[in-house]
Homo-oligomer: A and B are copies of this chain.
Amino acid sequence: MLARRLLRPATARQLTVPLLAQSYSSSSPAPKGTPDIDPSALTIEKTASPKPLLPAADLVFGRNFTDHMLSIEWTARDGWLPPRITPYQNLSLDPSACVFHYAFTCFEGMKAYKDPSNRIRLFRPDRNMHRLNRSSSRIALPTFSGPKFVELISKFVNLEDRFIPKQKGYSLYIRPTMIGTQNTLGVGPPGSALLYVIASPVGPYYPTGFKAISLEATESAVRAWPGGVGDRKLGANYAPCIVPQIDAAKRGYQQNLWLFGEEGYVTEVGTMNMFVAWVNEEGVKELITAPLDGTILEGVTRESILELARERLVPEGWKVSEEKYTIAQMKKAADEGRLLEAFGAGTAAVVSPVKAVTYRGEEIKIPLSPGKETGPLAEKFWNWMLAIQYGEVDHPWSQVISE
């Protein structure tokens, strides 16, 4: 029965990638001076069958999408073609398209928020654009003007206004994605690509308040390596992490804490960056996270927390460090009563308090505030970040995009 679905003629209209792309040589470089993304060329085709809105309680991350999507094709010969907003629909791709064989894919995660005046806001979209360009160029996909793409995303999000939940903690998750679409099995730079944006209304990561998580420190599998691509938001960094994640889940851990090297350097959580707060060996309160040495995703939440910490915690006597640190140092700090707190940081959860890290079968317990599933620092950052994201305070990171 299912098999029959596979082959039935498409009932919805489908995005068909131009056959012309097939004739491009895989080694032809992108000509200089081909057109950039052009918001003025945008065309909009609205859906004839708007979806019903789901009850807030039924919103599952990345499971349900809005009525439309934004798509921009690129070819090496013609550059970025006119952007289009269309009804949400399947992509129709030749089975030889290079995304299916060689993982030409990168993406971003952003959110649109409703502020108390019901205006739509984005949070530091320039940072996502910067990172997407860094990701795409690392795998020979095209780059583009960040501001112009944000302009298009804003138009798209405004069109989907009714899907943005109004409650604080809720948001519209935005997924810009770029894939290589060239139809050839030759291994080379794609001669064509598709940049598209879909959006999914999401509920709060912690619907009933914080829930601290347990991590398993992983050394059998290695997420990233110097000279590799662990600092770019490539699809290639995700699929290889799933089996270790399943293994950790079987043992009762929510996520992997990826270690690196014989020294056991703490890197990141794969879907989040990692922050640790301790009283360091010199007796100074320190908030520490791994430096951007090429193995760490350049998280927008990571960067924002570091900036907030430097502005607001340093005057209170905190030291804020982007330095390598080891799981052994975490354990020693815990043993000596110096470990204060640990949390993950990412777009989905904002901050995710960590209550324990298990390393080689031994649990490093991490303090939480009395009677709470978070420590005081994580809670502080959570409040600071949400106040900015939801426009409760005036801050340059939050950008009103309502038309």
B179/A100 in contact, CB under 8 A: yes
Answer whether residue A104 sits at the interface, using C-beta atoms and an 8 A cutoff. Answer: yes
Closest to A45 in B: B7
Report the Cα distance A270→B84, complex, angstroms. 37
- Which among A3, A10, A104, A186 has the greatest number of chain B C-beta atoms within 10 A? A3
Answer whether residue A54 sits at the interface, using C-beta atoms and an 8 A cutoff. Answer: no
Binding site for B on A (CB under 8 A): 2-3, 5-10, 13-20, 22, 27, 29, 45, 60-63, 65, 69, 71, 73, 75, 78, 81-82, 84, 86, 88-97, 99-105, 107, 137-140, 173, 175, 177, 179-180, 184-189, 196, 198, 200, 219-222, 225-229, 234-243, 245-246, 249, 270-271
Report the Cα distance A29→B2, complex, angstroms. 19
A242-B187, A246-B140 as given contacts; A65 in contact with B5, CB under 8 Å? no
- Which among A2, A22, A198 has the greatest number of chain B C-beta atoms within 10 A? A2
A105/B96 in contact, CB under 8 A: no
Shortest distance in angstroms between A181's beta carbon and chain B's nearest beta carbon?
10
Report the Cα distance A138→B244, complex, angstroms. 9
Report the Cα distance A269→B370, complex, angstroms. 56
Interfacial chain B residues near A75, Cβ < 8 Å: 2
Report the Cα distance A37→B199, complex, angstroms. 36
B185/A175 in contact, CB under 8 A: yes
Interfacial chain B residues near A101, Cβ < 8 Å: 105, 107, 175, 177, 235, 238
Sample of 28 A–B contacts (CB below 8 Å): A2-B81, A3-B82, A5-B16, A5-B19, A5-B20, A7-B13, A7-B16, A7-B86, A62-B185, A62-B186, A91-B93, A91-B94, A91-B100, A101-B175, A101-B177, A102-B238, A103-B105, A103-B234, A103-B239, A104-B239, A139-B240, A140-B242, A187-B238, A187-B270, A221-B228, A234-B239, A235-B236, A236-B237
Closest to A220 in B: B227
Report the Cα distance A50→B245, complex, angstroms. 46
Report the Cα distance A155→B127, complex, angstroms. 51
Interfacial chain B residues near A220, Cβ < 8 Å: 227
A228/B222 in contact, CB under 8 A: yes
Closest to A61 in B: B186
Interfacial chain B residues near A81, Cβ < 8 Å: 2-3, 6
- Which among A13, A16, A234, A270 has the greatest number of chain B C-beta atoms within 10 A? A16
A184-B62, A239-B139 as given contacts; A17 in contact with B9, CB under 8 Å? no
Report the Cα distance A246→B245, complex, angstroms. 34
A63/B10 in contact, CB under 8 A: no
B185/A16 in contact, CB under 8 A: no
Report the Cα distance A60→B186, complex, angstroms. 9
